Amino acid sequence: MARKLPPKDVVIVGLGWTGAILAHELTEAGLDVVAIERGPWRDTATDFNIGYAPDELRYSVRRDLFLQPAQETLTMRNTSSQTALPMRDFGSFLPGTGVGGAGTHWNGHTWRFFPSDFNLKSHLTERYGAARIADLTIEDWGLSYDELESSYDRFEYLAGISGKAGNIQGKLQDGGNPFEGVRQREYPLPAMQMSYAPTLFAEGARSIGFHPFPTPSANLSKAYVNPLGIAMGQCTACGFCERFGCANYSKASAHTTILPVLMRKPNFEARCNSEVLHVNLDATRKMAKSVTYVDASGEEWEQPADLVLLCAYGLHNARLMMLSGIGKVYDPSTGEGTVGRNYCYQTNAGVQLFFDDKNFNPFIASGALGQTVDDFNGDAFDHGSVDFVGGAGINCIPTNGRPIGYRPVPPGTPRWGSAWKKATAENYLSVLGFSSQGSSYATRGNYLDLDPTYTDRFGRPLMRMTFDFPDNDIRMSHWVSDRMEEIGKALKPRQMVSSRRQKSWNSVPYQSTHNTGGAIMGTDPKKSAVNRYLQSWDVPNVFVIGASAFPQNAGKNPTGTVGALAFWAADAIRDKYLRNPGALVSA
Amino acid sequence: MSTDSAFTATRRHFLTSAAAISLVTVSTHVRAQSISGVLPWQPFAAEPPTPIGPQGWVFFTPAEAAAVEAIVDRLIPADDLSVGGKEAGCAVFIDRQLAGSYGSSSRLYMKGPFLPGLPTQGYQGKETPAARYREGLAAIDAYLRKTMNGRSFVHLNADEQDQFLKTMEAGKVDLGGGINATRLFDLILGNTMEGFFADPIYGGNRDMVSWKMIGFPGARYDYRDHISKHNQRYPLGPVSIAGGRPEWSR
Amino acid sequence: MRLSFAFAAATALIASFGANAAENQFDQLERGRYMAVLGDCAGCHTLPGGAPFAGGVALQTPFGKLVAPNITPDSETGIGNWSAEDFRRMMKTGIGHNGIRLYPAMPYPAYSRMSDGDIGDLWVYLNALQPVKNAVVANQLPFPFNIRLSLIGWNWLNFTPADFTPNPQKSAEWNRGAYIVEGPGHCGVCHSPKTWMGADKTNVALAGEVLQGWMAPKITAAPRDGLGQWSLDDITGYLKTGTNRFDIASGPMAEVVSNSTSKMTDADLRAVAVYLKDLPGETQTRSAIAADSAAMRTGAAIYADNCSACHGGNGEGTPKLFPRLAGNALTQQADATSLIRVVLAGSQAGATHAAPTAPAMPSLAWRLNDAQVADVLTYVRNTWGNAATAVPAEDVAKLRRQLQSGN
C-alpha cells in the first residue's frame, strides 16, 4: 500500500536534460518541484573521475552508465506478423539512466531541424503532391520553426554550443550551413578546432560542389560561462565522448549547465533510485493527482502534485502514458489511438576509406568534432526526380579510436590470427570514416504498444516496439550512399567500403539512440497525443516532454530540438498554464 | 537546506565524519535518495575499477583455463607484432569477467518465456556467458577427444588447433547439446578481443601490449596540443588506468 | 569591568527588559546581523543544515575536540540567561557567563579588539534569533586540557584584552580593514602561525598555518607566496565571489566565503584588501628546482597525464573552473598540505551566487602513490615561474593516513 507524501506543486518524472530544464524554469517561477529519477545521483568528480573515466571496457562495452535491461527493456519485432521478443540486452539503441540521463554521455551533435521539418506534411504535399507521401503517416507538428527559434537559441546558449552559423537573420554566412533555418544570432562559441579526418573530408566534399561546415558541437571549443553563471571548460579531444561522462566539465549536460544552480534551490528536491510506476488519475480520468513510485528500499510511495511532467526519455514517456491510461493506446489495425503511433528512428549508412599514406590519429577526437554536409538532408534539395522523400546529413565526425570497438580492417580480412593482427596494426591509424544520418518517416505499421507477454520486475508489461525501415527511407538512404561514395572517390583512397542500409531493422548492432515519436505533438487530437505545447490532450495537467513529441524524425540528432521543446513547454506552463490551468488548446 | 544522507564537506565535516576509506575499491560515493539545497560531494569519493586480484583462476577449472589459454593463443598468436593472447592475459581477463556481472548476465533481462528469435531479435537464450563457457568448453573437449584420438585442444598442434577453430567459426562442427558452434566461437573471440584491447587493469593487455602495437595512447585525456598536427604521429606512449606509464616512477 | 558608554547605550533597553527582550530596533539589528557576518559566527555555531546558531559543530584542535555551543537565546541550552555584560566580557576577555573560561578556539583574542558598540549590536542580534533547544557539551578535550583553569595560565602568557587602536598614519580605509582582519574577521586564527601553545605568533602575523589538514596560506603582500601578485580587485573578487583569476575557494575558506565574506559590503572588502596589501611579508627569492631532476621529470609526466586536461599544459587553469597553477601563491606555500590534500581527497569548490559552479577536483588517492603525488606537486611548485620546496613522499604518506583515519 503506497504511503502518501505531502503534495508538491510539480512532479517531474526523470532528471535528464528535459527534467533539469523544466525543473530550473519552474523553480525560478517559485514552484515547489520534485524530480523523481530511477537511476542514481551522478556527478563529475566522482562518476567521471579523470583517472578512470577513459575506460572503454567499463563504459562502452559493459556500459556502466546506461540503463540495464534488467531494470527495463522493450520487446521488438519488425512487423505485426511477427512475435515480439525481449531485447535481453540492448544493442541498436542504448537508453540512459541516472541524474543527467543519456545527456550525460551523449556525443553532443546539436542541431536545429529545418523549417520544412515542422510542417512536413503540408510542405511535401504542396511541393510533390499527396501521392508521394501516401504510404507514410507524416504529420505537421502544430508548431513552426520560427516559433521555436528563440527556444533553440536558449538551449544553445545554455549549453555553449560551438559552431558557425550559416544564416543570420536571412544573410548567408561563409563557413556555415547554407541550408539551415534563419537564426537570430551566431552560436555562443566558435566552431571546434578541426582534426585531420574531417578536414580532409571537407576538402573532398567541397571539391565536388557540396557545402561542408563544422558540426554544431556541445563539446565546447573554449571556456565558457553560461547564462546561469555556470562555468564550463574547453574540450580536450580525449576520444572518450559517447557512452562516457566528461571528466573536465567540457561537455554540455544537465550536470555542467544546470544542476549546480538547481540543486541549491530550497524549492527543488531530487529523489534518486526511485522508479515511478505510473501516474494516478482522478475519478474523471481527466486529471492527474499523483505519481506512485518505488524507492531504493522497495517501499512504495504516492507523491501528489498539481502538475505532472513526463521527462523520462521519449520511449519511457510513451510507456508511462500507456501504463497510466493517459490517452488511448494506438492500434494499427483500426488506426485509432494516439499513444504509440508514429514511432520513428534513424536511417544510417556508412563509408570507410582505407589509405596507405595518412595518419588520422583516431583517438584525438570528441563526440561532435567534425564536418557535416547538409546538401542532401531533409527537403534541402529538389526531390522532383527521385523516388523518395527525406534525406540525410552526411557527417564526418570520427568520435574515437577506442580499440575494442574501433579497429577497421578491409573486408575479407580474417577475424583472428596473424593476418588479422597485421591488418589491424596496419590500418588502425589510417582509415577515414563518415556516415549518413537519415530521416525516419512514420508509417502505419511502425508503432509502440504494450507487450502481451513480457513484464518487468514489477509485473508491468514491457513496451513493444514494432518497427522496420520504410521502403521510402531505404531508397533515400541508398541514394545518399551514392553521394557519399562520390565524396569518397574524390579523396582517392586505396579502398572504399560502402555499408548501405538494408531492411530489416536488426536490434543487435548499435545504430542510434534516436527513438522518436510515440506521444507526438500535433493539431488533431485524434492523431496526436499532446498539443503544440506538449500538453496531453486527454489529461491537461500532464505534459510529455521529449523526442516522443516528434511526429517523424529528421536527418539530425534530436537533442537540440528536444532542448528547445523543453524551453518552449516551460514557457507555456509558466506563462499560460499556471495563470489558467486547463487545456491550452481547444480540441 | 535539508538533506537525508548527503552533506557538504566543510572543514568541520571532515573532522566529524567517519572517513575510514580503503584506497582501492570502496565506493564512498554519495548515493543519497533525497537531495535538496546542496550539490553533494564527499572527500575521497571514487569508484575505480575493481583490481584483478591475486594470481590464479576464479571461474575456470584448471583444465578449462588451459584450454582457454590455448584458444586465445591461436586467436591472437605470438608473432613479430606482439605476444600471443595467453601471454597478454586474455584468458585471465575472460576468467574474471565470467566471475562477475558479465558472466552471470545480471544486467540483462532474463525473464521468460525463452523463445527462439529471429536474427533481428538478438540472443534469446537462457544460458549466461558463464554457462555457455562451461558447457561449451566441455562440449569442445568431448568433441575433440572423440574425433582427435582422445586428445584435448591443448594436445593438438597449432595447425590442428587453427583448423578446428575455423570449422567452429564456420558452424561446420556439431558440438552436440544444441550448441551453436558459430555463436560459441563468436563469444570466445569477442571476449578475447575485449581482453586484448581493454585496459590492463582487467587482466588482459598486459603491459599495454596491444595499444603499443596499434599506437593507441590509452587512458589519456588532453590532446589539445596535437589536434592541429594533421597527419603527424602522436609522440607519447600509452597510459593505463592503474599503472599510468613507466615515466611516472623514478 | 567598567561598561563603556557606547555599550551601555546599545544594550540599555535589553538590560531593562531582561536578556530575552526582543527590542528589535531595525538599524541595530541590521548592524548586529552584519557583525555576525563579519565574525562568521555561523561558521562554527551553525551545523550545516541545522538551526541557525544552535551549535554542534566540532572543532578538532591540536589539543583535542571542542564543540561550539548553542548561542541562540534559549534559556536552558543557549545563552538565554546571559546578560549583555556577560556577553561583552566573554568577547573581550574569554571569560563567559558564571566565570567559565572559553578556550581560544572561540577566537576571543581577536574578538577582543571589537568595539563595545559592535559587540553590543551583535548581542542585540543574537537575542532576536529563534531560541533553539540543543544541549551541547562544548568541552570534549582530553585531560589535562579539559581543565579550564589552565586557561588562566594560557591567557597570562598569551593574551591581553585590548581594544583596537587605529593607526593615525594610515587612511580610514586601511584602519577599517585592519579592524576587520584583526578583530571580527579573526583571519589570524587560521592564517597566522601558532606557537606550541596555540597562540598567534604575532611577529609573523598572517604568514600562513596548517590546521585540520589544510594549509591556510600566507596573506601578507609577499610577492611569491603571499598576495603580492593580487590586485585589490583580485582580493575583493575572491572574497565576494569565491573566485578570481587565480583561485577558487574550497575547503574551509569556501565556507568563510559563503557565510561571511560574500555578504560583506564592497567598501569593507576593499578596506580588507587595502590592509592586506600593505602588510609587507618577507621577500624570499628562491630558484626553482631544476627541470631535469628526477622528481621534476616524473612529475612532468604525471602532470601531463592527469592534470593538464583541467589545469592546462602551462598551468594556466580556467577562471571560475580550474585554479591557475602558474604564478599562483597557493601552489608555492612553504607547506604543501593543501595541495597534497586536494590531490588525494579531491575537493569541491565553494559556490556563491556570482560563481555557482562548485567544480570539484577528483580524488586521485586511488591512482597515485605517495611518491607520485609528491613528485607531481614538486613539479607544479617549480614550473612556469613557480619556485618552492620539493614535496617529500613521507609528507604525502602522513597526510594520507591522517585523512583516511578521520583525524
For the cut 50, the answer to whether the pLDDT of residue B1 exceeds it is no
Of A25, A146, A142, give the one whose Cα is nearest residue A578.
A25
Q: Are C209 and C202 in contact (CB under 8 A)?
A: no
Residue C285's pLDDT band, with cuts at 50, 70 and 90, is confident
In whole angstroms, what is the distance from residue C65 CA to residue A265 CA? Answer: 33
CA distance C249 to chain A (A): 15
CA distance B238 to chain A (A): 11
B42-62 per-position pLDDT tens digit: 999 999 998 887 789 999 999
Residues of C in contact with A232 (CB under 8 A): 321
Mean pLDDT of A485-494: 98
Where do the domains of chain C lie? 2-132, 172-277, 294-404
A383 is catalytic: no
For the cut 60, the answer to whether the pLDDT of residue B127 exceeds it is yes
Structure-model confidence comparison of residues A326 and C9, the more confident one? A326
Determine whether the interchain pair B23/C365 forms a contact, defined as Cβ–Cβ distance below 8 Å: yes
Residue C3's pLDDT band, with cuts at 50, 70 and 90, is very low
A467-479 per-position pLDDT tens digit: 999 999 999 999 9
B106-122 per-position pLDDT tens digit: 999 999 999 999 999 99
For the cut 80, the answer to whether the pLDDT of residue B93 exceeds it is yes
Residues of B in contact with C351 (CB under 8 A): 39
CA distance C48 to chain B (A): 8
C103-141 in b/e form (b: 16+ CB < 10 A) is bbbbbbbbbbbbbbbbbbbbbbbbbbbebbebebebbeb
Task: List the single residue in A51, A230, A238 with the smallest CB-CB distance to C362.
Answer: A51
Using the 8-state DSSP alphabet, how is residue A59 labeled?
I
CATH architecture of A3-577: 3-Layer(bba) Sandwich (3.50)
In the block, which residue shows the cell 506521444? A519
Against chain A, the chains showing at least 3 CB pairs within 8 Å are B, C
Give the dihedral of Cα atoms A112, A115, A117, A119; nearest 10 deg. 140
A343-353 per-position pLDDT tens digit: 999 999 999 99
Mean pLDDT of C274-292: 89
CA distance B62 to chain A (A): 25
Residue B29's pLDDT band, with cuts at 50, 70 and 90, is very low
Query: In the prediction, which pLDDT does B22 show?
Result: 22
Mean pLDDT of B193-198: 98
Mean pLDDT of A317-323: 98
In the block, which residue shows the cell 603571499? C226
Task: List the single residue in A228, A229, A247 with the smallest CB-CB distance to C309.
Answer: A247
A77-109 per-position pLDDT tens digit: 999 999 999 999 999 999 999 999 999 999 999
For the cut 80, the answer to whether the pLDDT of residue C19 exceeds it is no
For the cut 50, the answer to whether the pLDDT of residue C16 exceeds it is no
Query: In the prediction, which pLDDT does C15 show?
Result: 44
A193-214 per-position pLDDT tens digit: 999 999 999 999 999 999 999 9
Determine whether the interchain pair C301/B21 forms a contact, defined as Cβ–Cβ distance below 8 Å: no
Structure-model confidence comparison of residues A540 and C66, the more confident one? A540
Ramachandran class of C208: left when φ > 0, alpha when ψ lies in -120 to 50, beta otherwise: left
**Cα–Cα distance list, A582 to A289, A530, A565, A572 (Å):** 14, 13, 20, 12
A255-267 per-position pLDDT tens digit: 999 999 999 999 9
Give the residues across from C215 on adjacent strands: C210
Flag the least confident range among A257-261, A425-429, C131-135, C300-304.
Answer: C131-135
In whole angstroms, what is the distance from residue A216 CA to residue A374 CA? Answer: 12
Task: List the single residue in A45, A228, A232 with the smallest CB-CB distance to C346.
Answer: A45
CATH code of domain C294-404: 1.10.760.10
Task: List the single residue in B7, B37, B248 with the smallest CB-CB distance to C302.
Answer: B248
Determine whether the interchain pair B122/A87 forms a contact, defined as Cβ–Cβ distance below 8 Å: yes
B208-244 per-position pLDDT tens digit: 999 999 999 999 999 999 999 999 999 999 999 998 9
Q: What single-letter amino acid sits at A572?
A: A
Query: In the prediction, which pLDDT does C9 show?
Result: 53
Query: In the prediction, which pLDDT does C141 show?
Result: 76
Of A101, A24, B42, give the one whose Cα is nearest residue C404.
B42
| Three-point CA angle B94, A423, B223, nearest 5° | 80
Query: In the prediction, which pLDDT does C306 show?
Result: 98
For the cut 50, the answer to whether the pLDDT of residue B20 exceeds it is no
What is the C-alpha R_g of chain C? 22
For the cut 60, the answer to whether the pLDDT of residue C263 exceeds it is yes
Residues 6+ apart with CB under 8 A from B171: B180, B181, B182
Which stretch of DSSP H or E encloses residue C348?
strand C347-348
**Strand-strand pairing, A288-294 and A300-310:** antiparallel
Q: Could you count the other beta carbons within 10 Å of the beta carbon of residue A172?
A: 13
Mean pLDDT of A156-168: 98
For residue C144, cis peptide bond before it (omega within 30 degrees of 0)? yes
In whole angstroms, what is the distance from residue A242 CA to residue B160 CA? Answer: 42
Percent of chain C with pLDDT over 90: 64
Q: What nine digits make up the cell of A302? A: 504516492
Query: In the prediction, which pLDDT does C18 show?
Result: 40
Residue B30's pLDDT band, with cuts at 50, 70 and 90, is very low
The DSSP code sequence of C126-160 is HHTSPP-------EEPPTTTT-TTHHHHHHHHH--
Query: In the prediction, which pLDDT does B27 show?
Result: 34
Residues of B in contact with C404 (CB under 8 A): 19-21, 23, 44
CA distance C15 to chain B (A): 35
For the cut 50, the answer to whether the pLDDT of residue A321 exceeds it is yes
Using the 8-state DSSP alphabet, how is residue A72 labeled?
-
Query: In the prediction, which pLDDT does C353 show?
Result: 93
Percent of chain C with pLDDT over 70: 92
A138-159 per-position pLDDT tens digit: 999 999 999 999 999 999 999 9
Query: In the prediction, which pLDDT does C344 show?
Result: 98
Query: In the prediction, which pLDDT does C213 show?
Result: 85
In the block, which residue shows the cell 564526418? A396
Determine whether the interchain pair B250/C251 forms a contact, defined as Cβ–Cβ distance below 8 Å: no
Residues 6+ apart with CB under 8 A from A252: A108, A110, A158, A159, A160, A161, A218, A219, A220, A232
Interface predicted TM-score (ipTM) of this complex, two decimals = 0.96
* Phi and psi, residue A361, nearest 5°: 40, 65
Q: What mean pLDDT, rounded, does chain A reach?
A: 98
In whole angstroms, what is the distance from residue A225 CA to residue A50 CA? Answer: 22
Query: In the prediction, which pLDDT does C159 show?
Result: 74
Query: In the prediction, which pLDDT does A480 show?
Result: 98
* Phi and psi, residue B104, nearest 5°: -95, 5
Q: Could you count the other beta carbons within 10 Å of the beta carbon of residue A504?
A: 15
User: Given CA atoms A271, A273, A274, A277 in this order, what sign does their dihedral have?
Assistant: positive
Q: What mean pLDDT, rounded, does chain C reach?
A: 88
Query: In the prediction, which pLDDT does B26 show?
Result: 27
User: For the purposes of burial, counting CB atoms within 10 Å of the CB of A184, is it exposed (0-12), middle (13-18) or buried (19 or more)?
Assistant: exposed
**Mutation target vs B (from A49, A88, A510; most B CBs, 10 A cutoff):** A88
For the cut 80, the answer to whether the pLDDT of residue A317 exceeds it is yes
The DSSP code sequence of C92-124 is HHSB-GGGPBPPTTS-HHHHTTS-HHHHHHHHH
A421-443 per-position pLDDT tens digit: 999 999 999 999 999 999 999 99
C199-258 per-position pLDDT tens digit: 777 777 899 998 878 999 999 999 999 999 999 999 999 999 999 999 999 988 999 999
What are the residues of chain B with a beta carbon less than 8 Å away from any beta carbon of chain C?
1-3, 7-21, 23-24, 37-39, 41, 43-46, 48, 220-222, 224-225, 236, 239, 241-242, 244-245, 247-250
In whole angstroms, what is the distance from residue A259 CA to residue A250 CA? Answer: 15
Q: What nine digits make up the cell of A266? A: 530550497
In whole angstroms, what is the distance from residue C84 CA to residue C73 CA? Answer: 12
Query: In the prediction, which pLDDT does B32 show?
Result: 56
Does C310 lie at the interface with A, CB-CB under 8 angstroms?
yes
User: For the purposes of burial, counting CB atoms within 10 Å of the CB of A116, is it exposed (0-12), middle (13-18) or buried (19 or more)?
Assistant: middle
For the cut 70, the answer to whether the pLDDT of residue C167 exceeds it is yes
Residues 6+ apart with CB under 8 A from A56: A240, A402, A403, A404, A405, B197, B198, B199
Give the dihedral of Cα atoms A232, A233, A238, A243; nearest 10 deg. 0
Task: List the single residue in A40, A264, A295 with the smallest CB-CB distance to B39.
Answer: A264
CB-facing half-sphere around the CA of A340: CA atoms within 13 A:
28
Topology annotation, domain C172-277 = Cytochrome Bc1 Complex; Chain D, domain 2 (1.10.760)
Of C294, C316, C319, give the one whose Cα is nearest residue C307.
C316
Query: In the prediction, which pLDDT does C48 show?
Result: 78
Mean pLDDT of A532-552: 98
Q: Are A519 and A343 in contact (CB under 8 A)?
A: no
In whole angstroms, what is the distance from residue C235 CA to residue C277 CA? Answer: 9
Which chain B residue is nearest to residue A273, measuring alpha carbons?
B33
For the cut 80, the answer to whether the pLDDT of residue B174 exceeds it is yes
Give the dihedral of Cα atoms B95, A243, A191, A197; nearest 10 deg. 40
Mean pLDDT of A220-236: 98
Q: What nine digits make up the cell of C314? A: 602551462
| 3-class SS letters over A267-307 | CEEEECCCEEEEEEECCCCCCEEEEEEECCCCCEEEEEEEE
Determine whether the interchain pair A236/C309 forms a contact, defined as Cβ–Cβ distance below 8 Å: yes
| 3-class SS letters over A140-208 | CCCCCHHHHHHHHHHHHHHHCCECCCCEECCEECCCCCCCCCCECCCCCECCCCCCHHHHHHHHHHHHC
For the cut 60, the answer to whether the pLDDT of residue A586 exceeds it is yes
Please tell me the pTM assigned to this model.
Answer: 0.93
In whole angstroms, what is the distance from residue A577 CA to residue A570 CA? Answer: 10
